[in-house]
A and B are shown apart, each in its own frame.
Chain A
Amino acid sequence: MASLLQMTDITLTLNSSTVLHDLNFDVAEGEIHALLGTNGSGKSSLALMVMGCQNHTPETGHVYFENQDIKDWPIHRRARAGITLAWQEPTRFEGLSVQDFLHLDPGWRAPEACLAAVGMDPALYLQRMVDKSLSGGERKRIELASMLAMQPRLAMLDEPSAGVDVLSLAEVTEAIRALRQGGSSVLLITHQEDLAACADRASQLCGGRIVFSGSPADVAQHYRGRSCIRCNGDCADAA
Protein backbone atom coordinates (compact mmCIF):
# COMPACT_ATOMS: atom_id res chain seq x y z
CA MET A 1 0.00 0.00 0.00
CA ALA A 2 1.15 3.54 -0.72
CA SER A 3 2.10 5.78 2.16
CA LEU A 4 -0.49 8.34 3.14
CA LEU A 5 1.68 9.83 5.88
CA GLN A 6 5.43 9.59 5.90
CA MET A 7 7.96 10.99 8.36
CA THR A 8 11.64 11.02 7.56
CA ASP A 9 14.54 11.74 9.92
CA ILE A 10 12.37 13.63 12.41
CA THR A 11 14.01 15.10 15.47
CA LEU A 12 11.77 16.92 17.94
CA THR A 13 12.93 18.64 21.11
CA LEU A 14 10.60 19.79 23.88
CA ASN A 15 11.85 21.73 26.89
CA SER A 16 15.49 20.97 26.01
CA SER A 17 14.75 17.25 25.86
CA THR A 18 14.83 15.34 22.58
CA VAL A 19 11.62 13.32 22.42
CA LEU A 20 11.83 12.04 18.83
CA HIS A 21 15.21 10.89 17.46
CA ASP A 22 15.79 10.62 13.70
CA LEU A 23 12.38 9.07 13.46
CA ASN A 24 11.20 7.37 10.30
CA PHE A 25 7.63 6.20 10.25
CA ASP A 26 4.70 5.87 7.89
CA VAL A 27 1.00 5.15 7.79
CA ALA A 28 -0.26 3.50 4.64
CA GLU A 29 -3.38 4.43 2.74
CA GLY A 30 -6.42 2.65 4.22
CA GLU A 31 -4.66 0.97 7.13
CA ILE A 32 -5.14 1.02 10.86
CA HIS A 33 -1.65 1.41 12.27
CA ALA A 34 -1.25 0.95 16.02
CA LEU A 35 1.54 2.76 17.82
CA LEU A 36 2.52 1.24 21.13
CA GLY A 37 4.99 2.44 23.69
CA THR A 38 5.49 3.17 27.35
CA ASN A 39 4.60 6.46 29.00
CA GLY A 40 6.97 9.15 27.80
CA SER A 41 8.12 7.23 24.75
CA GLY A 42 6.98 10.07 22.45
CA LYS A 43 3.66 8.77 21.07
CA SER A 44 1.55 11.84 21.86
CA SER A 45 4.37 14.16 20.83
CA LEU A 46 4.50 12.42 17.47
CA ALA A 47 0.76 12.97 16.95
CA LEU A 48 0.95 16.63 18.03
CA MET A 49 3.90 17.13 15.68
CA VAL A 50 1.98 15.64 12.73
CA MET A 51 -0.98 17.87 13.57
CA GLY A 52 1.29 20.92 13.66
CA CYS A 53 0.53 21.92 17.24
CA GLN A 54 2.23 24.70 19.17
CA ASN A 55 5.87 23.95 20.16
CA HIS A 56 5.88 20.71 18.17
CA THR A 57 7.78 21.80 15.09
CA PRO A 58 10.57 19.30 14.34
CA GLU A 59 14.15 20.56 14.18
CA THR A 60 15.05 18.15 11.40
CA GLY A 61 13.30 15.95 8.92
CA HIS A 62 10.15 16.12 6.87
CA VAL A 63 6.49 15.20 7.20
CA TYR A 64 4.81 14.17 3.97
CA PHE A 65 1.07 13.78 3.57
CA GLU A 66 -0.04 12.47 0.22
CA ASN A 67 3.49 13.24 -0.97
CA GLN A 68 3.32 16.92 0.01
CA ASP A 69 5.72 18.27 2.62
CA ILE A 70 3.40 19.70 5.27
CA LYS A 71 6.03 20.60 7.86
CA ASP A 72 5.33 24.32 7.55
CA TRP A 73 1.57 24.12 7.21
CA PRO A 74 -0.62 25.52 10.00
CA ILE A 75 -3.00 23.21 11.80
CA HIS A 76 -6.15 24.18 9.92
CA ARG A 77 -4.46 23.67 6.55
CA ARG A 78 -3.42 20.17 7.61
CA ALA A 79 -7.00 19.55 8.82
CA ARG A 80 -8.47 20.73 5.53
CA ALA A 81 -6.07 18.40 3.73
CA GLY A 82 -7.58 15.56 5.73
CA ILE A 83 -5.52 15.14 8.92
CA THR A 84 -7.06 15.35 12.35
CA LEU A 85 -6.35 14.35 15.93
CA ALA A 86 -8.46 13.09 18.79
CA TRP A 87 -6.57 14.35 21.83
CA GLN A 88 -5.58 12.06 24.70
CA GLU A 89 -7.14 14.54 27.11
CA PRO A 90 -9.77 16.36 25.07
CA THR A 91 -10.45 19.93 26.06
CA ARG A 92 -13.80 21.25 27.25
CA PHE A 93 -15.76 24.13 25.73
CA GLU A 94 -18.10 26.43 27.62
CA GLY A 95 -21.30 27.07 25.73
CA LEU A 96 -20.64 24.67 22.83
CA SER A 97 -23.20 21.90 22.47
CA VAL A 98 -22.35 18.36 21.46
CA GLN A 99 -24.51 18.89 18.37
CA ASP A 100 -22.51 21.95 17.33
CA PHE A 101 -19.18 20.30 18.12
CA LEU A 102 -20.11 17.36 15.90
CA HIS A 103 -21.27 19.63 13.09
CA LEU A 104 -18.55 22.24 12.75
CA ASP A 105 -18.73 21.91 8.98
CA PRO A 106 -21.92 21.44 6.95
CA GLY A 107 -20.21 18.70 4.97
CA TRP A 108 -19.76 16.45 7.98
CA ARG A 109 -21.86 13.37 8.67
CA ALA A 110 -24.99 13.73 10.78
CA PRO A 111 -24.14 13.93 14.51
CA GLU A 112 -26.88 11.48 15.52
CA ALA A 113 -25.34 8.55 13.66
CA CYS A 114 -21.85 9.36 14.93
CA LEU A 115 -22.97 9.47 18.55
CA ALA A 116 -24.87 6.23 18.15
CA ALA A 117 -21.75 4.62 16.68
CA VAL A 118 -19.84 5.26 19.91
CA GLY A 119 -22.69 3.96 22.07
CA MET A 120 -24.18 7.32 23.06
CA ASP A 121 -27.89 8.05 22.81
CA PRO A 122 -28.30 11.20 20.68
CA ALA A 123 -31.48 12.11 22.54
CA LEU A 124 -29.51 12.30 25.75
CA TYR A 125 -26.35 13.96 24.49
CA LEU A 126 -26.94 16.26 21.51
CA GLN A 127 -28.06 19.22 23.61
CA ARG A 128 -25.48 18.65 26.35
CA MET A 129 -22.52 21.02 26.48
CA VAL A 130 -18.98 19.84 25.72
CA ASP A 131 -17.95 21.18 29.11
CA LYS A 132 -17.05 19.95 32.56
CA SER A 133 -20.47 18.38 33.02
CA LEU A 134 -19.32 15.44 30.88
CA SER A 135 -17.31 12.66 32.45
CA GLY A 136 -13.86 11.89 31.08
CA GLY A 137 -15.14 8.77 29.32
CA GLU A 138 -18.09 10.61 27.79
CA ARG A 139 -15.80 13.35 26.51
CA LYS A 140 -13.45 10.74 24.99
CA ARG A 141 -16.30 9.08 23.14
CA ILE A 142 -17.54 12.42 21.82
CA GLU A 143 -14.01 13.08 20.55
CA LEU A 144 -14.17 9.77 18.72
CA ALA A 145 -17.64 10.64 17.39
CA SER A 146 -16.19 13.86 15.97
CA MET A 147 -13.70 11.76 13.99
CA LEU A 148 -16.61 9.80 12.53
CA ALA A 149 -18.42 13.03 11.72
CA MET A 150 -15.42 14.59 10.02
CA GLN A 151 -14.39 11.47 8.08
CA PRO A 152 -10.78 12.63 7.68
CA ARG A 153 -8.25 11.04 5.37
CA LEU A 154 -6.08 10.36 8.45
CA ALA A 155 -7.48 10.12 11.98
CA MET A 156 -4.91 10.08 14.76
CA LEU A 157 -6.51 8.67 17.90
CA ASP A 158 -4.48 9.24 21.06
CA GLU A 159 -5.47 6.65 23.65
CA PRO A 160 -9.12 6.51 22.48
CA SER A 161 -10.08 3.98 25.13
CA ALA A 162 -8.51 5.77 28.11
CA GLY A 163 -11.19 6.48 30.70
CA VAL A 164 -13.81 4.55 28.75
CA ASP A 165 -15.60 1.85 30.72
CA VAL A 166 -14.86 -1.77 29.91
CA LEU A 167 -18.36 -2.35 28.57
CA SER A 168 -17.86 0.34 25.95
CA LEU A 169 -14.48 -0.85 24.67
CA ALA A 170 -16.10 -2.97 21.98
CA GLU A 171 -17.88 0.15 20.72
CA VAL A 172 -14.58 2.01 20.56
CA THR A 173 -13.11 -0.82 18.49
CA GLU A 174 -16.13 -0.83 16.21
CA ALA A 175 -15.90 2.94 15.79
CA ILE A 176 -12.26 2.61 14.71
CA ARG A 177 -13.23 -0.03 12.18
CA ALA A 178 -16.09 2.20 11.01
CA LEU A 179 -13.61 5.01 10.44
CA ARG A 180 -11.58 2.80 8.17
CA GLN A 181 -14.71 1.55 6.38
CA GLY A 182 -15.64 5.17 5.78
CA GLY A 183 -12.33 5.73 3.99
CA SER A 184 -10.10 6.98 6.79
CA SER A 185 -6.67 5.70 7.64
CA VAL A 186 -6.07 5.49 11.38
CA LEU A 187 -3.02 6.06 13.52
CA LEU A 188 -4.04 4.37 16.74
CA ILE A 189 -1.99 5.32 19.79
CA THR A 190 -2.69 2.95 22.63
CA HIS A 191 -1.34 0.98 25.56
CA GLN A 192 -4.03 -1.63 25.19
CA GLU A 193 -3.06 -4.73 23.27
CA ASP A 194 -6.72 -5.72 22.95
CA LEU A 195 -7.45 -2.51 21.13
CA ALA A 196 -4.27 -2.66 19.07
CA ALA A 197 -5.39 -6.06 17.83
CA CYS A 198 -7.85 -4.35 15.49
CA ALA A 199 -4.92 -2.80 13.61
CA ASP A 200 -3.45 -4.07 10.34
CA ARG A 201 0.05 -3.15 11.38
CA ALA A 202 1.74 -1.93 14.53
CA SER A 203 4.93 -0.22 15.59
CA GLN A 204 6.60 0.19 18.92
CA LEU A 205 7.99 3.57 19.90
CA CYS A 206 10.67 3.57 22.54
CA GLY A 207 12.76 6.53 23.64
CA GLY A 208 11.64 8.52 20.64
CA ARG A 209 12.59 5.85 18.11
CA ILE A 210 10.58 3.23 16.25
CA VAL A 211 12.17 0.04 17.56
CA PHE A 212 9.91 -2.62 16.09
CA SER A 213 7.21 -2.92 13.45
CA GLY A 214 5.09 -5.85 12.40
CA SER A 215 1.76 -7.43 13.07
CA PRO A 216 -0.07 -6.22 16.20
CA ALA A 217 0.53 -9.61 17.84
CA ASP A 218 4.25 -9.54 17.13
CA VAL A 219 4.63 -5.97 18.34
CA ALA A 220 2.65 -6.74 21.49
CA GLN A 221 4.92 -9.67 22.18
CA HIS A 222 7.99 -7.51 21.65
CA TYR A 223 6.47 -4.80 23.82
CA ARG A 224 5.91 -7.25 26.66
CA GLY A 225 9.13 -9.12 26.26
CA ARG A 226 11.60 -6.24 26.43
CA SER A 227 12.45 -3.93 29.28
CA CYS A 228 11.75 -0.81 27.30
CA ILE A 229 11.05 1.56 30.12
CA ARG A 230 13.53 4.40 29.72
CA CYS A 231 15.86 2.36 27.55
CA ASN A 232 16.04 5.27 25.10
CA GLY A 233 15.51 3.00 22.19
CA ASP A 234 18.42 0.68 22.93
CA CYS A 235 16.03 -2.25 22.59
CA ALA A 236 16.09 -1.63 18.85
CA ASP A 237 19.57 -3.10 18.84
CA ALA A 238 18.47 -6.02 20.98
CA ALA A 239 15.47 -6.85 18.80
Chain B
Amino acid sequence: MLRDLQPMMTAMRVAGVDPKPLLANDTAHLVAYGQDVVSLHEIPGINLTAARVDGEIRVNLIVRKWVNVEQPVHLCLGLFEPTGEQKIRLAVWLEPNSRASFIAHCLFTRPRSASHQMQADFTIGTGAELRYTESHFHGDSGGMDVRPTATIHLGRDARMFSDFSLISGRVGVLDIDYDVDVGENAVAEFTSKVYGRGTDQIRIRERLVLSGTNARGLIKSRIAATDDAVAEIIGMTEGNAAGARGHVDCMEIVRDRARVSANPMVKVSHPQAKVTHEAAIGSVDHQQLETLMARGLSPDAAVDLIVSGILRNA
Protein backbone atom coordinates (compact mmCIF):
# COMPACT_ATOMS: atom_id res chain seq x y z
CA MET B 1 0.00 0.00 0.00
CA LEU B 2 2.86 2.31 0.80
CA ARG B 3 4.03 2.04 -2.81
CA ASP B 4 0.55 3.01 -4.03
CA LEU B 5 0.58 6.05 -1.77
CA GLN B 6 3.97 7.23 -2.94
CA PRO B 7 2.81 9.49 -5.82
CA MET B 8 0.33 11.25 -3.53
CA MET B 9 2.88 11.63 -0.74
CA THR B 10 5.37 13.08 -3.21
CA ALA B 11 2.76 15.50 -4.55
CA MET B 12 1.86 16.55 -1.01
CA ARG B 13 5.48 17.33 -0.28
CA VAL B 14 5.74 19.39 -3.47
CA ALA B 15 2.65 21.31 -2.38
CA GLY B 16 4.16 21.92 1.06
CA VAL B 17 1.89 19.47 2.87
CA ASP B 18 3.09 16.92 5.41
CA PRO B 19 2.09 13.45 4.08
CA LYS B 20 2.70 11.57 7.34
CA PRO B 21 -1.00 11.53 8.38
CA LEU B 22 -1.60 9.06 5.52
CA LEU B 23 0.44 6.51 7.45
CA ALA B 24 -1.16 7.12 10.83
CA ASN B 25 -3.53 4.47 12.20
CA ASP B 26 -5.62 7.00 14.11
CA THR B 27 -6.31 9.10 11.00
CA ALA B 28 -8.99 8.31 8.44
CA HIS B 29 -8.17 8.89 4.82
CA LEU B 30 -9.20 8.37 1.24
CA VAL B 31 -6.71 8.53 -1.62
CA ALA B 32 -7.85 8.52 -5.24
CA TYR B 33 -5.88 8.95 -8.45
CA GLY B 34 -8.07 9.86 -11.36
CA GLN B 35 -11.01 7.47 -11.23
CA ASP B 36 -9.22 4.90 -9.06
CA VAL B 37 -9.49 4.56 -5.31
CA VAL B 38 -5.97 3.78 -4.14
CA SER B 39 -6.33 3.73 -0.39
CA LEU B 40 -9.08 4.02 2.17
CA HIS B 41 -8.69 3.93 5.93
CA GLU B 42 -11.53 4.04 8.45
CA ILE B 43 -11.28 4.66 12.15
CA PRO B 44 -13.84 4.01 14.92
CA GLY B 45 -16.74 6.45 14.74
CA ILE B 46 -16.33 7.07 11.02
CA ASN B 47 -17.78 5.07 8.15
CA LEU B 48 -15.95 5.75 4.94
CA THR B 49 -16.71 3.92 1.70
CA ALA B 50 -15.64 4.64 -1.86
CA ALA B 51 -16.34 2.82 -5.10
CA ARG B 52 -16.16 3.47 -8.81
CA VAL B 53 -19.67 3.50 -10.24
CA ASP B 54 -20.77 4.68 -13.67
CA GLY B 55 -17.61 6.58 -14.42
CA GLU B 56 -17.32 8.38 -11.11
CA ILE B 57 -16.04 7.72 -7.61
CA ARG B 58 -18.85 7.64 -5.09
CA VAL B 59 -17.72 8.42 -1.59
CA ASN B 60 -19.87 8.16 1.52
CA LEU B 61 -18.52 9.57 4.73
CA ILE B 62 -20.50 9.34 7.95
CA VAL B 63 -19.40 10.62 11.33
CA ARG B 64 -21.44 8.87 13.98
CA LYS B 65 -23.44 10.83 16.52
CA TRP B 66 -21.59 12.22 19.53
CA VAL B 67 -18.24 11.21 18.03
CA ASN B 68 -15.49 13.79 18.29
CA VAL B 69 -12.94 12.91 15.61
CA GLU B 70 -9.63 14.07 16.99
CA GLN B 71 -7.45 13.83 13.89
CA PRO B 72 -8.53 15.50 10.63
CA VAL B 73 -9.88 13.19 7.96
CA HIS B 74 -7.68 13.48 4.86
CA LEU B 75 -9.31 13.34 1.44
CA CYS B 76 -6.48 13.17 -1.09
CA LEU B 77 -7.57 13.53 -4.69
CA GLY B 78 -5.01 13.65 -7.45
CA LEU B 79 -4.24 13.42 -11.11
CA PHE B 80 -0.61 12.97 -11.97
CA GLU B 81 -0.83 12.49 -15.71
CA PRO B 82 -0.99 15.39 -18.22
CA THR B 83 -4.49 14.41 -19.32
CA GLY B 84 -7.42 12.75 -17.65
CA GLU B 85 -10.47 13.37 -15.58
CA GLN B 86 -11.68 12.80 -12.12
CA LYS B 87 -15.33 12.79 -11.12
CA ILE B 88 -16.22 12.55 -7.47
CA ARG B 89 -19.65 12.32 -5.94
CA LEU B 90 -19.26 12.90 -2.22
CA ALA B 91 -21.95 12.43 0.41
CA VAL B 92 -21.05 13.59 3.90
CA TRP B 93 -23.24 13.19 6.91
CA LEU B 94 -22.27 14.40 10.35
CA GLU B 95 -24.74 12.81 12.69
CA PRO B 96 -26.11 14.87 15.59
CA ASN B 97 -23.59 16.33 18.01
CA SER B 98 -20.56 14.92 16.23
CA ARG B 99 -17.49 16.97 15.50
CA ALA B 100 -14.84 16.54 12.80
CA SER B 101 -12.47 18.32 10.52
CA PHE B 102 -11.72 17.28 6.96
CA ILE B 103 -8.74 18.32 4.91
CA ALA B 104 -9.17 17.85 1.17
CA HIS B 105 -5.90 17.89 -0.79
CA CYS B 106 -6.64 18.31 -4.47
CA LEU B 107 -3.31 17.87 -6.19
CA PHE B 108 -2.97 17.96 -9.94
CA THR B 109 0.71 18.25 -10.55
CA ARG B 110 1.21 18.55 -14.32
CA PRO B 111 -2.11 18.84 -16.11
CA ARG B 112 -2.02 19.75 -19.77
CA SER B 113 -5.71 19.18 -20.29
CA ALA B 114 -7.36 17.59 -17.30
CA SER B 115 -10.53 18.01 -15.29
CA HIS B 116 -11.80 17.45 -11.79
CA GLN B 117 -15.48 17.55 -10.99
CA MET B 118 -16.85 17.26 -7.50
CA GLN B 119 -20.50 17.01 -6.67
CA ALA B 120 -20.92 17.06 -2.91
CA ASP B 121 -23.81 16.82 -0.50
CA PHE B 122 -23.15 17.74 3.10
CA THR B 123 -25.64 17.22 5.90
CA ILE B 124 -24.49 18.64 9.19
CA GLY B 125 -26.81 17.29 11.86
CA THR B 126 -28.20 18.97 14.93
CA GLY B 127 -25.42 20.33 17.11
CA ALA B 128 -22.68 18.92 14.87
CA GLU B 129 -19.59 20.83 13.72
CA LEU B 130 -17.46 20.43 10.60
CA ARG B 131 -14.31 22.30 9.73
CA TYR B 132 -13.61 21.70 6.07
CA THR B 133 -10.37 22.81 4.44
CA GLU B 134 -9.85 22.30 0.72
CA SER B 135 -6.42 23.13 -0.68
CA HIS B 136 -5.71 22.92 -4.38
CA PHE B 137 -2.45 22.72 -6.26
CA HIS B 138 -2.69 22.69 -10.03
CA GLY B 139 0.94 23.07 -11.12
CA ASP B 140 2.12 25.80 -13.46
CA SER B 141 0.63 24.81 -16.80
CA GLY B 142 -2.87 26.28 -16.49
CA GLY B 143 -4.33 23.13 -18.03
CA MET B 144 -6.67 22.19 -15.19
CA ASP B 145 -10.44 22.55 -15.22
CA VAL B 146 -11.98 22.27 -11.77
CA ARG B 147 -15.70 22.43 -11.06
CA PRO B 148 -16.76 21.78 -7.48
CA THR B 149 -20.45 21.99 -6.67
CA ALA B 150 -22.00 21.42 -3.28
CA THR B 151 -25.35 21.37 -1.59
CA ILE B 152 -25.03 21.83 2.13
CA HIS B 153 -27.61 21.66 4.87
CA LEU B 154 -26.91 22.70 8.44
CA GLY B 155 -29.40 21.55 11.04
CA ARG B 156 -30.28 23.27 14.28
CA ASP B 157 -27.21 24.47 16.27
CA ALA B 158 -24.88 23.03 13.63
CA ARG B 159 -21.67 24.76 12.57
CA MET B 160 -19.62 24.56 9.42
CA PHE B 161 -16.44 26.45 8.62
CA SER B 162 -15.15 26.02 5.10
CA ASP B 163 -11.85 27.30 3.76
CA PHE B 164 -11.01 26.90 0.06
CA SER B 165 -7.59 27.93 -1.19
CA LEU B 166 -5.77 27.87 -4.52
CA ILE B 167 -2.98 30.34 -4.16
CA SER B 168 0.17 28.82 -5.63
CA GLY B 169 0.77 27.89 -9.25
CA ARG B 170 -1.85 28.35 -11.95
CA VAL B 171 -5.57 27.95 -11.53
CA GLY B 172 -6.65 27.06 -15.09
CA VAL B 173 -10.42 27.09 -14.95
CA LEU B 174 -12.18 27.14 -11.60
CA ASP B 175 -15.95 27.17 -11.27
CA ILE B 176 -17.26 26.83 -7.72
CA ASP B 177 -20.98 26.59 -7.09
CA TYR B 178 -22.22 26.14 -3.52
CA ASP B 179 -25.69 26.31 -2.05
CA VAL B 180 -25.94 26.36 1.72
CA ASP B 181 -29.06 26.18 3.85
CA VAL B 182 -28.48 27.33 7.43
CA GLY B 183 -30.93 26.17 10.09
CA GLU B 184 -31.94 27.50 13.49
CA ASN B 185 -29.03 28.85 15.54
CA ALA B 186 -26.63 27.34 13.03
CA VAL B 187 -23.44 29.02 11.84
CA ALA B 188 -21.91 28.79 8.35
CA GLU B 189 -18.69 30.52 7.34
CA PHE B 190 -17.27 30.10 3.84
CA THR B 191 -13.92 31.55 2.88
CA SER B 192 -12.26 31.33 -0.50
CA LYS B 193 -8.75 32.44 -1.42
CA VAL B 194 -7.62 32.25 -5.02
CA TYR B 195 -4.69 33.75 -6.92
CA GLY B 196 -5.29 33.89 -10.67
CA ARG B 197 -2.43 34.29 -13.13
CA GLY B 198 -1.87 34.01 -16.86
CA THR B 199 -5.19 33.35 -18.58
CA ASP B 200 -6.84 31.74 -15.55
CA GLN B 201 -10.60 31.91 -15.34
CA ILE B 202 -12.21 31.98 -11.92
CA ARG B 203 -15.88 31.92 -11.06
CA ILE B 204 -17.09 31.51 -7.51
CA ARG B 205 -20.77 31.46 -6.72
CA GLU B 206 -21.80 30.89 -3.14
CA ARG B 207 -25.33 31.21 -1.85
CA LEU B 208 -26.20 31.14 1.84
CA VAL B 209 -29.85 30.89 2.81
CA LEU B 210 -30.33 31.75 6.46
CA SER B 211 -33.59 29.92 6.90
CA GLY B 212 -33.57 29.22 10.63
CA THR B 213 -34.18 31.59 13.51
CA ASN B 214 -30.90 33.22 14.60
CA ALA B 215 -28.96 31.56 11.78
CA ARG B 216 -25.58 33.14 11.10
CA GLY B 217 -23.66 33.22 7.85
CA LEU B 218 -20.47 34.70 6.43
CA ILE B 219 -19.13 34.58 2.89
CA LYS B 220 -15.60 35.88 2.63
CA SER B 221 -13.53 36.02 -0.54
CA ARG B 222 -9.98 37.14 -1.11
CA ILE B 223 -9.05 37.03 -4.76
CA ALA B 224 -5.92 38.28 -6.48
CA ALA B 225 -5.77 38.40 -10.26
CA THR B 226 -2.81 39.32 -12.39
CA ASP B 227 -1.72 39.06 -16.06
CA ASP B 228 -4.86 38.31 -18.11
CA ALA B 229 -6.78 36.42 -15.46
CA VAL B 230 -10.52 36.88 -15.16
CA ALA B 231 -12.53 36.41 -12.00
CA GLU B 232 -16.21 36.68 -11.20
CA ILE B 233 -17.25 36.44 -7.57
CA ILE B 234 -20.89 36.11 -6.62
CA GLY B 235 -21.69 35.97 -2.92
CA MET B 236 -25.39 35.74 -2.15
CA THR B 237 -26.91 35.74 1.31
CA GLU B 238 -30.59 35.61 2.13
CA GLY B 239 -31.97 36.36 5.57
CA ASN B 240 -35.33 34.63 5.85
CA ALA B 241 -35.91 34.26 9.60
CA ALA B 242 -36.01 36.30 12.78
CA GLY B 243 -32.58 37.07 14.17
CA ALA B 244 -30.78 35.82 11.08
CA ARG B 245 -27.50 37.64 10.51
CA GLY B 246 -25.38 37.46 7.40
CA HIS B 247 -22.41 39.23 5.91
CA VAL B 248 -20.64 39.10 2.56
CA ASP B 249 -17.04 40.34 2.50
CA CYS B 250 -15.22 40.51 -0.83
CA MET B 251 -11.72 41.90 -1.30
CA GLU B 252 -10.11 41.51 -4.68
CA ILE B 253 -6.78 42.79 -5.93
CA VAL B 254 -6.31 43.41 -9.63
CA ARG B 255 -3.04 43.87 -11.51
CA ASP B 256 -1.92 44.14 -15.10
CA ARG B 257 -4.75 43.37 -17.54
CA ALA B 258 -6.73 41.17 -15.18
CA ARG B 259 -10.45 41.73 -14.79
CA VAL B 260 -12.42 41.04 -11.64
CA SER B 261 -16.04 41.55 -10.75
CA ALA B 262 -17.49 41.09 -7.28
CA ASN B 263 -21.22 40.86 -6.82
CA PRO B 264 -22.23 40.66 -3.20
CA MET B 265 -25.99 40.12 -3.27
CA VAL B 266 -28.15 40.35 -0.20
CA LYS B 267 -31.81 39.62 0.23
CA VAL B 268 -33.96 39.79 3.34
CA SER B 269 -37.48 38.46 3.66
CA HIS B 270 -37.98 38.82 7.41
CA PRO B 271 -38.12 42.19 9.19
CA GLN B 272 -35.89 40.93 12.01
CA ALA B 273 -33.18 39.57 9.76
CA LYS B 274 -30.15 41.60 8.78
CA VAL B 275 -27.61 41.00 6.03
CA THR B 276 -24.72 43.31 5.21
CA HIS B 277 -22.03 43.33 2.58
CA GLU B 278 -18.77 45.00 1.66
CA ALA B 279 -16.71 44.72 -1.47
CA ALA B 280 -13.42 46.29 -2.40
CA ILE B 281 -11.67 45.84 -5.72
CA GLY B 282 -8.54 47.65 -6.64
CA SER B 283 -4.83 47.59 -7.05
CA VAL B 284 -2.44 47.17 -4.17
CA ASP B 285 -2.61 49.98 -1.62
CA HIS B 286 0.14 52.41 -2.54
CA GLN B 287 1.17 53.26 1.03
CA GLN B 288 1.57 49.56 1.78
CA LEU B 289 3.67 49.26 -1.34
CA GLU B 290 5.78 52.30 -0.52
CA THR B 291 6.29 51.19 3.08
CA LEU B 292 7.73 47.85 1.98
CA MET B 293 9.80 49.45 -0.78
CA ALA B 294 11.15 51.89 1.81
CA ARG B 295 12.44 48.79 3.60
CA GLY B 296 14.29 47.75 0.45
CA LEU B 297 11.82 45.35 -1.21
CA SER B 298 11.49 45.53 -4.98
CA PRO B 299 8.04 46.52 -6.27
CA ASP B 300 7.31 42.91 -7.31
CA ALA B 301 8.45 41.47 -3.99
CA ALA B 302 6.39 44.05 -2.11
CA VAL B 303 3.26 43.24 -4.11
CA ASP B 304 3.78 39.51 -3.59
CA LEU B 305 4.11 40.01 0.16
CA ILE B 306 0.98 42.17 0.35
CA VAL B 307 -1.09 39.79 -1.75
CA SER B 308 0.10 36.66 0.05
CA GLY B 309 -0.69 38.33 3.37
CA ILE B 310 -4.22 39.12 2.25
CA LEU B 311 -4.73 35.60 0.94
CA ARG B 312 -3.19 34.00 4.02
CA ASN B 313 -5.20 36.10 6.42
CA ALA B 314 -8.62 35.38 4.95
Determine if A114 is an interface residue (Cβ-Cβ < 8 Å): no
User: Can you identify 13 A-B contacts, CB atoms within 8 angstroms?
Assistant: A51-B290, A76-B298, A76-B302, A78-B294, A87-B287, A91-B285, A93-B288, A95-B308, A95-B311, A96-B309, A104-B292, A104-B297, A146-B295
B296 to chain A, nearest CB (A): 4
A75 to B297, CA, bound (A): 9
Q: How large is the interface on B (under 10, 10 to 19, 20 to 34, 35 or more residues)?
A: 20 to 34
B residues less than 8 Å from A51 (CB atoms): 290, 294
Q: Are B298 and A95 in contact (CB under 8 A)?
A: no
- CB-CB nearest in chain B for A51: B294
Q: Are A79 and B293 in contact (CB under 8 A)?
A: yes
Determine if A20 is an interface residue (Cβ-Cβ < 8 Å): no
Given A91-B285, A96-B305, A75 contacting B313 (CB threshold 8 A): no
B301 to chain A, nearest CB (A): 9
Q: Are B308 and A79 in contact (CB under 8 A)?
A: no
Given A95-B309, A96-B305, A84 contacting B288 (CB threshold 8 A): no
Q: A75-B294, A79-B297 are in contact. List 6 more A-B contacts (CB 8 A).
A: A54-B290, A75-B290, A76-B297, A76-B302, A85-B294, A94-B309
Q: Are A76 and B287 in contact (CB under 8 A)?
A: no
Determine if B3 is an interface residue (Cβ-Cβ < 8 Å): no
A residues less than 8 Å from B295 (CB atoms): 79, 84, 104-105, 146, 150
For A51, A87, A94, which residue has the most chain B Cβ atoms within 10 angstroms?
Answer: A94
A172 to B298, CA, bound (A): 29
A window 75-109: CB within 8 A of B: 75-76, 78-80, 83-85, 87, 90-91, 93-96, 104-105
B289 to chain A, nearest CB (A): 9
Determine if A113 is an interface residue (Cβ-Cβ < 8 Å): no
- CB-CB nearest in chain B for A150: B295
B104 to chain A, nearest CB (A): 22
For A75, A79, A91, A104, which residue has the most chain B Cβ atoms within 10 angstroms?
Answer: A75
A24 to chain B, nearest CB (A): 24
A window 142-157: CB within 8 A of B: 146, 150
Determine if A182 is an interface residue (Cβ-Cβ < 8 Å): no
Q: Are B294 and A94 in contact (CB under 8 A)?
A: no
B residues with a Cβ closer than 8 A to A are 285-288, 290-299, 302, 305-306, 308-314
Determine if A74 is an interface residue (Cβ-Cβ < 8 Å): yes
A residues with a Cβ closer than 8 A to B are 51, 53-54, 74-76, 78-80, 83-85, 87, 90-91, 93-96, 104-105, 129, 131, 146, 150
A105 to chain B, nearest CB (A): 6
Find B288's partner among A53, A80, A91, A104 (CB 8 Å cutoff).
A91
A residues less than 8 Å from B290 (CB atoms): 51, 53-54, 75
A residues less than 8 Å from B312 (CB atoms): 95
A180 to B47, CA, bound (A): 66
Q: Are A93 and B306 in contact (CB under 8 A)?
A: yes
B147 to chain A, nearest CB (A): 28
B residues less than 8 Å from A78 (CB atoms): 294
A93 to B284, CA, bound (A): 11
Q: Are A76 and B299 in contact (CB under 8 A)?
A: yes
Q: Are A104 and B296 in contact (CB under 8 A)?
A: yes
B residues less than 8 Å from A129 (CB atoms): 313
B residues less than 8 Å from A54 (CB atoms): 286, 290
- CB-CB nearest in chain A for B309: A95
A residues less than 8 Å from B294 (CB atoms): 51, 75-76, 78-79, 83-85
A residues less than 8 Å from B292 (CB atoms): 104
A72 to chain B, nearest CB (A): 15
For B285, B296, B306, which residue has the most chain A Cβ atoms within 10 angstroms?
Answer: B296
A residues less than 8 Å from B314 (CB atoms): 95
A71 to chain B, nearest CB (A): 16
Find B293's partner among A74, A90, A95 (CB 8 Å cutoff).
A74
A6 to B297, CA, bound (A): 24
A138 to B60, CA, bound (A): 50
A78 to B290, CA, bound (A): 12
A181 to B285, CA, bound (A): 34
A126 to chain B, nearest CB (A): 16
B residues less than 8 Å from A131 (CB atoms): 313
Q: Are B291 and A87 in contact (CB under 8 A)?
A: yes
A93 to B313, CA, bound (A): 10
A49 to B298, CA, bound (A): 19
Q: Are B310 and A94 in contact (CB under 8 A)?
A: yes
- CB-CB nearest in chain B for A84: B294
A146 to B312, CA, bound (A): 22
B residues less than 8 Å from A94 (CB atoms): 309-310, 313
- CB-CB nearest in chain B for A93: B309
Which 8 residue pairs spanning A and B have beta carbons closest together? Answer: A95-B313, A95-B309, A75-B293, A95-B312, A79-B296, A76-B293, A94-B313, A91-B287
A93 to B310, CA, bound (A): 8
B171 to chain A, nearest CB (A): 20
Find A90's partner among B291, B296, B298, B313 (CB 8 Å cutoff).
B291
- CB-CB nearest in chain B for A82: B296
B167 to chain A, nearest CB (A): 11
For B287, B290, B302, B314, which residue has the most chain A Cβ atoms within 10 angstroms?
Answer: B290
